[in-house]
Structure 1
Amino acid sequence: MRTAYLKDINHIPCPVPYPVKQDEIAKMLSTLSEKLENEVIFQMKLQKQKEFLLSQMFI
């Protein structure tokens, strides 16, 4: 279906977690975001180290 009209989907229940659960979810997502950011930084550092080591091998 390309377009969903309100009249077609208005009857579908959409539960919303309690605020405490929403906070837990938000904290978990923030933690995962920080972890991903740290892993990207670590990967960049490893890439630089690899480039340096390769350049030293072929001097």
Structure 2
Amino acid sequence: EQRTDLVPDFVKAIVRQGVSFMPQFRKTEISDADLEALAAYLARNNPTSAASASSE
């Protein structure tokens, strides 16, 4: 499934806080750098995320 609605901040919040049956992941389980890379990868098809990432 190709998602276009994932933004990095949403992905990071869900990973750190968990949701429903998905557990949270602590910094000892996934580093901030790895989480940033994961969020960027998942948001790669989101035109809004790509535009905001290139402006940073």
Shared topology, TM-score over 0.5? Answer: no
The two structures have a TM-score, normalised by structure 2, of 0.29
Q: Which structure has the highest helix share of the two? A: 1
Greater relative contact order (Cα < 8 A, sep 6+): 2
